[in-house]
Every structure is written in C-alpha cells, then in structure tokens.
Structure 1
Amino acid sequence: MYSPAEKTSERSLVLITGASGYIGGYVAKDALKAGYSIRLTARTPKVETLRKEYGSEAEIVPLDDIVSGDYSEALEGVSAIIHLASPLPASGKHEVAASEHLRFSLDGTMNLLRQGAAMGVKKMIICSSILAVTDMDNMQNAFNSNHTYTAEDWNPTTTKVLLGSEHHPWWVYGASKAIAEREVWKFANEHPEIDFTVFQPGFVYGPTSGVSIPPRGSSEIPSTPFLLYSNIFKLPFKTGFPPVVPLSVDVRDCARAHVLALSAPPSTEVGRKRLLLSAPSFTWAQAVEHLRTVRPELRERLLSEAEINETYGAMPIGGVARVDCERAKEVLGFSEFISWQKMVEDCVDDLLEVEKGWKFD
C-alpha cells in the first residue's frame, strides 16, 4: 500500500503536528506502518492521551503555542515535517474568530517552517484545503458549476477582506488557508533546498474510529464527518453547517497521500507539488438514496428527498464541479480514490457506533 520509507536518507524521523486530530491520527499510524519513526506535537492536555495511544512507538512533545512556540526540541533530528495542526470552523462549542484563524493558519504555519528551515529539515508537507482553491464569495457556483479545479485555481481572498467584515465560519477557514498557502510558496521560493508539498483535500469524510482521541459527544467529533451526518439524518437540533459540499475525499486516502509524499521525488519547480485531493463528487440526495439501498434499516432516520430539497431551497445541489487530481496520482503513485459510496457507508457505520456513547448538552 505504501512506498517504503527512504532508507537512503540520513534520517527517517518525521515530525507530525495535529496528530490528535481526525486526519492526523490516521497520518501518524500510517507513517508507522510505512516504516518511519514519528514524533508528535500536542497541546499539554492531550499529551498523556497520545502517550497511552502510541506507547513507545512515538515520541510526544508538548507544544501549546503553535504561533510563537519553540519547536527546537520537536525538530531535533527530524528529516521531514507533516503539518496538520489547524482548528476547524466552530471547533467544539466555540467559533474561532477570523483573526485567530489567520493566526493559526498563517503565523502558526510560518513559525514552524522557519524553525524547520533553520534546523535543516529538507522536506515539508502541509495540509491546506480545497477552500484555498475555490472562490468562496460565490459558494453556489464554486461547488455547482461545470468548472474543473486545478492547481492553477486560487481562492482570491485577501487579509484585508478577511478581517474587514463578518463572514461565515467556513468562509473564514478557507480564506485563512489560502492566505497562509500563498506565504508558504513565497517561503518555498526563498528555500530551493527544501522540498515542499501542499495538499488541498476536499471535505474529509470517512470513519472516525481509530484516531487518537475518541469523541464523547456530537460537538466533539470532527466537523466534516458531522457535516455529512447532519445533512443526511433527521436530527433533533440545528447544526449551522453549510448544506452543499460535494467536493470530498476519504480520510484514509488523505492520510495515505501525506505519507506517500514523504518518499515522493522532489520537484525542481516551486509550486509544482500543489496537489489537489478529491474523489468523484456526490450530493446528499445521492448519499441518502445509496444508504436506503445498502442500509435499509436506516430508512426512517434518513432525510427524504423532499426534506433535502426544502433544506436547500432553490440552491442547485448537482455537485457537478470537478477536481483534477491527476498530478497527485502521478506524484504519489496511487491510482484511484476510495469511492464516495464506500466513504459514506464507512463514515455512517462508524458514527452510528460512536453516537451510542454521546452525551448531549
């Protein structure tokens, strides 16, 4: 499944940030399977949980401030960085302000990259978002158009616009990711000795089990699986999530891509490894129709087509936008993404198990 770790490199120790998160948990475990040694950073409250999770398989370094914290201990002896730490919109019970999102995405990323460069790290892999590629000012057309997204597409948002007025949390998240990524590529131009890969995954769904810290309630599960959950099931509460997000990728493919990037050949052209990750698009109506067939016992819990149409109003939900992932397949050496049908099935099966232990406030 994976290319072997680079035995020819002087070191095969990989620093992973955000390993207590949804994607990060999979990345850390997949990196171990691929033969790498891993070191994980985590906020102090999560350190002990990660130590119990990984035991002697991983080093855990406490780091509470990604924006201005000292990474020298975490970077000692490291040959590659996989940077995943970033808060999602409406994380937990509290929304994250636009200025804070920008601090985490921009200042937090650049703090790590600058210190990594100073410590001689030669490979840096960053997780951005498909929202850094799409124009969030026209969200309907961004996802429901005949456009095919490529690495040449950019979210045009500026810092001035981001901080100048109120925006939807997902708009803020996408804007901060785009602004941060532009700075990453400027930094890459200044450091040709470092091999950079930046991923733009679609909305990440799939099973949540097996990651480092299991959720205790619906407000604690990763936002994107709950986005799927809340758009296909009848729920006794409102979620505030946007209804139309057809561009997506399975969390297992997303993690696999980050690990494969560790052994992918370097590019001589800055920005060449800006890699989009997305499986074929689907709509919530298609997901419900599929589940009615493969999980007939859930029919009473699933939204009807009429209820979906009522929720979305006049907004088209065709999900006809496409993502060109050929460059990612070429660079990483894998052929196909997990189908949206399997992704939906596995995500729902997992969440139905998880919800048995939920405690609602």
Structure 2
Amino acid sequence: MALHDNPNHALPKDSLILVTGVSGYIASNIVFEALEAGYRVRGTTRSAGKTMTDVFQSSKYEGVVVAHMDKEGAFDDAVKGVHAIIHAASPTQWSSDPEEVVRPAVNSIKSIMTSAMKEPTVRSFVYTSSSAAAITPKPNQEYTINKDSWNTEVEAYTTEKGDPALVYSASKMQAEHAVWDFAKQHNPNFVVNTVVPNFNIGRIIGKGSNSSNVILDVFRGNASFMATFPPQYMIDVVEDARIHLAAAIDCTVVNERIFAFAYPYNWNDVLDIFRELWPDKDFMRNNPELGRDISRVDNALSLKLLRKWYGTESYTDLKESIKQQFRSIQEL
C-alpha cells in the first residue's frame, strides 16, 4: 500500500531517515516501509555482519555500524545529513542486573539525541518505546491507558536486580522518560514523538529476531513464552512500522505518545486460529484460566495516522497478522 500524498508532509520523498537497530523485528519493517515510500534510509546495527544490505537490496539503503550506542558521540557520524531519526534499537542483554540493561538504554537516548542536536538537518526524532513503559498487563481488570500512563510498578528495578522481564520493562520506561526529559531540558530544533507499541505480529523481514519467533514457538508447542506474554493487545508489525514513519513525517504530530495497540488477544485466540488454519495438525490445549485484557487504550491517534497516510480504516486483525507472519516465513 503506497503512502498517500498529504499537505502535512514534513519530509519530501528522497529525504534521509536514520533507523537504528535495523536487524530487529520492528525496525526492519520500518526500513521496508520507508524505502517503499520513496525515502533513503541509513540503518545502524551493532556489527558489520548484520547491516541488512543483502536483505533490503536497495540503492537507497546504506548500513552503518554503531557498536556501542550508549557511548557519548556514538551516533555523531550516523546522523550526518539525516532529516529524521527513528530510534528503534534497545539493549539486547536479557539480564536481572539493571546496570546491564537500564543504564545502557538511558545512555543511548542521551547519546543519539545529543548527536542529533549537533546536526542541523534533523527535523524529527521518533523513539520506539514499549507497552512495558506504560503498564504491566492485568487480565480481567478494568483500567485506562493514556499518555499519562507510566509503569511505576517496575520502577524499583531501575536500580534493583530482579526478573529480567521486569528489568527490561524498567529500561523501556526509563528510556522513554529520558527522551521527554531531554526534549524538555534542551528544547531541540527537531520534533520529538514516541511510539508505544504492544505485542507485534506479522511480516518477518530477513531472519527475524527473538521477538518475531514467539508465535512460531507456540505453533511448535513451546508454552514457555505464554507466561512471559500474558493477555494484552497486539498490533500488526506493518501497521506499527507505518505509524512510526507517519510520526516522523507528519508535521502536525508534535510531542505525542502514540499508542500502537490494535486488539486485545490471549494465547487461546492464537491456538484457535492455528486450528482453523491447520486443521490436520495437533496443538496444545487451551488454558481456561488465561483471562482477558479488558483495559481501555487511547489509541485513536495511531489509527488516525494510518487512515491519513495509508487509507487504513481499521487495524489488521490477529488472524490476518498470523497468516502474514507464516507467509513471510515460507518466503525466507
């Protein structure tokens, strides 16, 4: 689906967009959508073997290495001449120690935003946050998620050791706080927005990443991930990528937390879809104790951007996202 022409276009076609962590699930889809829309993309990875040039195969794409993104000046070269930055990279450590996760996440924000301020061409900065920055899912409980929602339940793990999932959540919360704190303190010449996505499902580009393999693991009968991902919302990864791109190029979107939440789901829903699509295969039994995410989310802006820039009238549903994910696996 082509990007629509719009008078609110802040970045003309062929502008250069920096996307960090391009070997990641969401970031690789952001790059794909940006190239499809006619932009040039510079993508960062931590090592030369993951620059993804063989995957994107486009003259408008270049891969660069930023080995230690939490170091001061790490992005000075990467930001040269770019018009927008989408910072999708996160520390890869899965650790109980916040020194190994939280500190690098926060320092990477300071590093890339400081580098961006040195480069006069930068017009917009978008950070890929996470639902974990806003909330810990609570099945069967009613609550509202909006721009003022922060996951204070994990605040202790910004300094204390704990379950790696909680430390990761703390890192995303602190990193997004760091984005807004930096913007407030330094008043940069570029627009700042964050995208707060929930669980992504759908198209895999390249070899995929750990987060893109969860659905496949459940398909194969591995139930270990189910406890890590309780009932919550999902979003198709392509639509998440398009929301990121819209946040970077739409001049009317300023200082927004954009919640990329489409529909609530649980693993029973996934298993039911598996049985429908593959009726001859045996799958693990449903868990009647799973519960439902019945929270209310202020996700109007994300759908508004999809409608405005892509003509999308409703989010892609769980079944179609699963079909797209397995279709892309077959094409790899």
Q: Give the drift of 1:240.
A: 8.1
- 2 CA distance for matches of 1:341 and 1:158? 32
Aligned residues of 1:132 and 1:154 also touching (Cα < 8 A): yes
Check if 1:32 corresponds to 2:3. no
Task: Rate the CA distance shift 1:96–1:30 in 2: closer, same or farther, 3 A.
Answer: farther
Deviation at 1:293, TM superposition (A): 2.1
Q: Distance in 2 between matches of 1:293 and 1:318?
A: 21
- Give the distance between the partners of 1:89 and 1:249, measured in 2 at CA: 24
- From 84, 87, 99, the equivalent of 1:83 is 87
Q: Is the 8 A contact 1:11 1:79 kept in 2?
A: no
How far apart, CA to CA, are the structure 2 residues paired with 1:239 and 1:7? Answer: 40
CA RMSD, Structure 1 to Structure 2 (Å): 2.9
Contact 1:89–1:170 (CA under 8 A) maintained in structure 2: no
* SS of alignment partner, residue 153 of structure 1: coil
Q: CA distance change for structure 1 residues 11 and 186 in 2, over 3 Å: closer, same or farther?
A: farther
Letter aligned with residue 255 of structure 1: A
Instruction: State whether structure 2 residue 60 is matched by structure 1 residue 57.
Output: yes
Give 1:331 shift: 4.5
Residues 178 and 7 (structure 1 numbering): CA distance in 2 closer, same or farther, change over 3 Å?
A: closer
Displacement, 1:339? 0.7
Instruction: Provide the C-alpha distance between the structure 2 equivalents of 1:18 and 1:148, rounded to a whole number of angstroms.
Output: 31
- The aligned counterpart of 1:279 is 262
Structure-1-length-normalised TM-score: 0.79
Q: Which runs of 4+ in 1 moved over 4 A?
A: 4-11, 157-160, 237-241, 348-351
Paired AA for residue 176 in structure 1: S
- Residue 166 of structure 2 is aligned to residue 171 of structure 1: yes
Instruction: Give distance in 2, aligned partners of 1:79 and 1:283.
Output: 39
Q: Deviations over 1:246-291 (max 9, x none)?
A: 21111111111111222212456xx4x1100111111111221232
- Classify 1:165/1:52 alpha carbon distance in 2 versus 1 (closer, same or farther; 3 Å): closer
Deviations 1:295-334 (A, max 9, x none): 2133x1x1112xx34xxxx5x4222223221022335524
- 1:247 aligned to 2:233? yes
Does the C-alpha gap of structure 1 residues 230 and 124 become closer, same or farther in structure 2, counting only changes over 3 Å? same
State how 1:97-112 maps to structure 2 within 5 Å: 97-112=97-112
Q: Is the 2:197–2:259 Cα contact (8 Å) retained in structure 1?
A: yes
C-alpha separation between the residues in 2 aligned to 1:285 and 1:10? 43
Contact 1:205 1:344 in 2 (8 A): yes
Aligned partner (choices 188, 194, 210) of residue 223 of structure 1? 210
Q: How much does 1:80 deviate?
A: 0.7
Residues 301-340 of structure 1 mapped to structure 2, 5 A cutoff: 302-305=283-286, 308-309=287-288, 316-331=290-305, 333=308, 334-340=312-318
Q: Distance in 2 between matches of 1:245 and 1:44?
A: 35
- Give the superposition deviation at 1:223: 3.0
1:12-27 map, 5 Å: 12-27=15-30
What is the number of residues matched between the two proteins?
322
Deviation, structure 1 residue 84: 0.6
Paired AA for residue 327 in structure 1: L
User: Unpaired segments of 5 or more residues in structure 1?
Assistant: 215-220
| 1:296 equivalent in structure 2 | 279
Bigger drift between 150-159 and 4-13 goes to 4-13
Per-residue deviation, residues 17-43 of structure 1 (Å, max 9, x unmatched):
111211111111110111111111122
The answer for the alignment partner of 1:217 in structure 2 is: none
Task: Report the counterpart of residue 132 of structure 1 in structure 2.
Answer: 133
Contact 2:259 2:302 in 1 (8 A): yes
Task: Note the alpha carbon deviations across 1:147-197, whole angstroms, 9 max, x for none.
Answer: 232222111157654222322x22211111111111211222231532111
- Sort the Cα spacing of 1:255 and 1:34 in 2 relative to 1 into closer, same or farther, 3 A: same
Match of 1:155 among 128, 151, 156: 151
Instruction: Evaluate the alpha carbon distance shift between residue 319 and residue 74 of structure 1 in structure 2; reply closer, same or farther with a 3 A threshold.
Output: same
Point out where structure 2 has 5 or more consecutive residues left out of the alignment. none
Query: What is aligned with 1:218?
Result: none
Instruction: Provide the TM-score with structure 2 as the length reference.
Output: 0.85
Question: 1:289–1:254: structure 2 CA closer, same or farther, 3 Å change rule?
Answer: same
* Matching residue's letter, 1:30: E
Q: What amino acid is the match of 1:150? A: N
The CA deviation string for residues 128-159 of structure 1, in whole angstroms up to 9 with x for no partner, is 0011110x3xx5x2x44222322221111576
CA distances 1:34-58 after superposition (whole Å, capped 9, x unpaired): 1111111122332565356435221
Write the letter of the residue equivalent to 2:23.
Answer: S
